[in-house]
Structure 1
């Protein structure tokens, strides 16, 4: 997660909801720029043009939905952590979205702002947050997988494919030192460090 001030996007078509979130976030430590969008097309445009650390997306955005925007973020391998929110209390929808999009957080709008604050703080410190009432199967490994950043997932995949830190760095266009730092973070989050362990993990979680 960012070492400086976090840059956040809030995308919701209800102005009052956006204003409430902005008001809360502006009181938290380590929050920098807060961008806003009222529809999916605007949200995606911001995410493609402005450095954003966390995108908070309403699932039912007009135009492109929050799910559509999240898919584009993942398909384009943008290093952005994703939180989806919805008023639709559907465990099936929630579980499907979390697994398909490797979400860092999911919230039901029926819950209060304290849970929203808890979720934001969790994501910005490299953790994940899902509602207590949401029973995810295989929570241990699923939660660990969701704690990985997009770049960390890329590193796991490349190492599992047989790349060294140096060759993975060439593929990703970053330094070997940065790849090694990502591997340290992966080991801390997953408890896995060897190539064999990462390869097995990548196969179980369909990284390959």
Structure 2
């Protein structure tokens, strides 16, 4: 039996989740909370296996709640259930100390599978989330392969300089700059300078 606590400030959603999960014989809903402070009070008095946690809550949000749980070294696994789905958001909650993530529009079967997986193994990543994270790691690997000189070239491209102007600024030939540009696109798997600039800004290689 998995002992569950649910934290979400939207009463209708929280109670709907309780009703949904209560239908499963492997789950026991031990407590509910509408903010992080209530979560910490529950964890002081109850043994909870998995905490289903929203992020945007009053008084103490999900991020602060996770950090406080980690700081207090409370033995509970945290599954974040939220409307946010960007890669950076997912990376932030995992970095904060969450054990898994799911969007709020997830189906019952997937949610129950996530609870069971986190309870047994200590973490859960859906195939979609795992793919996003792995793709990002591959991009980071490509980014680290960019040399300091190539980063200079990327920055100047992002600043709107032509190939000839970049060559003059770096005291290099036009041919060398063209070679740098082609090598950069090849390393990053990009097709043109427009895609390069978007990628470089997103990954923090350059700043505009």
Pair 1:115-2:110 in alignment: yes
User: Would the alpha carbon gap of residues 127 and 117 (structure 1) be closer, same or farther in structure 2, given more than 3 Å must change?
Assistant: same
User: Would the alpha carbon gap of residues 137 and 100 (structure 1) be closer, same or farther in structure 2, given more than 3 Å must change?
Assistant: farther
Query: Which of these two proteins has the greater Rg computed from alpha carbons?
Result: 2
- 2:149 aligns with none
Q: 1:33: how far off?
A: 4.2
CA displacement, residues 94-135 of structure 1 (integer Å, 9 cap, x when unaligned): 11211331x221111133333222211211222522233222
Residues in 1 aligned to 2:36 and 2:9: alpha-carbon distance in whole angstroms: 9
- 1:30 aligns with 26
Pair 1:136-2:133 in alignment: yes
Structure 1: gaps of 5 or more residues: 140-208
Q: 1:54: how far off?
A: 0.9
- 1:95 aligns with 91
TM-score between the two structures when normalised by the length of structure 1: 0.58
Contact 1:10 1:18 in 2 (8 A): yes
Residues in 1 aligned to 2:16 and 2:9: alpha-carbon distance in whole angstroms: 13
Q: 1:70: how far off?
A: 0.9
Pair 1:66-2:52 in alignment: no
Three-state SS of the structure 2 residue aligned to 1:82 is strand
Structure 2: gaps of 5 or more residues: 137-208
Pair 1:12-2:27 in alignment: no
Three-state SS of the structure 2 residue aligned to 1:125 is helix
Structure having the larger proportion of residues in helix: 2
Residues in 2 aligned to 1:124 and 1:23: alpha-carbon distance in whole angstroms: 20
Q: CA RMSD in A?
A: 2.2
Contact 1:22 1:34 in 2 (8 A): no
Contact 1:7 1:52 in 2 (8 A): yes
Between the two proteins, the alignment pairs up a number of residues equal to 135
Q: 1:34: how far off?
A: 2.4
Higher mean C-alpha displacement, 55-64 vs 122-131: 122-131
TM-score between the two structures when normalised by the length of structure 2: 0.58
